[in-house]
Amino acid sequence: MASYDAIGKFYDDIMGDQKESAKQIYKLIKKFHPAAQSVLELGCGTGSYLQHLSRHYNTAGLDQSSVMLSIAREKLPRTELYQTGMLEFKFNKRFDVIICMNDTFNHFIKVLDIKKLLSKVYEHLAENGIFIFDINTEHKLNTLSESPPIIHQFGSGYFITNVSRISKDMYEWDLRIFEHRNDNYYKLHEQLLYERSYTLAQIENYLNKIFKAIKVFDLLKKRATLRSERLHFVCTKN
């Protein structure tokens, strides 16, 4: 998986504080594991989700990006944060909840890596712990790849996202940030990322081999449909 070092310092300007998204995750935790006390976030980035969840839980996070983690440490001085990959981490503790947000799951493009990830998660969950993650759906990735580049202004800078379909289920994200320095001078920052689309049946097949209960949600609609753009999964450890 690629890190977000090239664009990390702009991440919060682009994504916002993600407070509302964190509230949704908090509601899922309260519903499916009301006794939870600890939360680990995989791919925690700048720590926006943990910043909100740390008000209710003992929190920890990990990420590959040193740039993102330096920002997270400023927000979360009391949270344990680790620079490591999601397939390499190993802790001598278990967590009631593990989360993996903002379609980080889609960045795993090899099925073997998905299986390794799920095994790591299961190993680090406490008894009856839950794993919450989300994905960009096939529908959303197809829509983005068939649409013109998205231009987003933040402050005096610009963020351009161009998604291209490069194979049946693989998508390239060409991310470009034009950082305004002075007058008409902009500095370009570029990052290429890749996401794989997974069908609901594929993911449920992977999960059913490990977890005893799996719930799927479209948090913007009453239920998940073929036109859902983002799906959230809540998986309970056996």
Residue 212 confidence (pLDDT): 87
**Residue 102 has which token pair?**
């903002």
Domain holding 87: CATH number? 3.40.50.150
Do 62 and 21 share a structural domain? yes
Flag whether pLDDT at 2 surpasses 80: no
Q: Which domain holds residue 121?
A: 8-137+197-236
Kindly report, residue by residue over 85-116, the tens digit of the pLDDT.
999 999 999 999 999 999 999 999 999 999 99
- Region of residue 100 (left: phi > 0; alpha: psi -120 to 50; beta: else): beta
Residue-averaged pLDDT of the chain: 95
Confidence of residue 32 (pLDDT cuts 50, 70, 90): very high
Q: Is residue 79 part of a domain?
A: yes
Alpha helices in 125-212 (DSSP H): 138-145, 200-208
pLDDT at 238 over 90: no
Asked whether the beta carbons of 44 and 51 are under 8 A apart, the reply is: no
**56, pLDDT greater than 70:** yes
pLDDT at 178: 96
- For the chain, the farthest-separated pair of C-alpha atoms sits apart, in whole angstroms, at 59
Question: Are 130 and 143 found together in one domain?
Answer: no
Do 229 and 114 fall within a single domain? yes
State whether 150 and 232 are in the same domain. Answer: no
CATH number of the domain residue 163 falls in: 2.20.25.110
> How many domains, the chain?
2
| 16 & 44 share domain | yes
Judge whether 1 lies within some domain. Answer: no
pLDDT exceeds cutoff 90 at 42: yes
98 SS3 class: strand
CA–CA separation, 164 and 3 (whole Å): 19
Q: Using N-to-C axis directions, what is the helix angle for 111-124 and 200-208, rounded to 10°?
A: 50
Q: How many CB atoms lie within 10 A of CB 187?
A: 10
Quick one: pLDDT at residue 3? Answer: 67
- Mean pLDDT across 197-215: 95
Structure tokens at 118: 């799920």
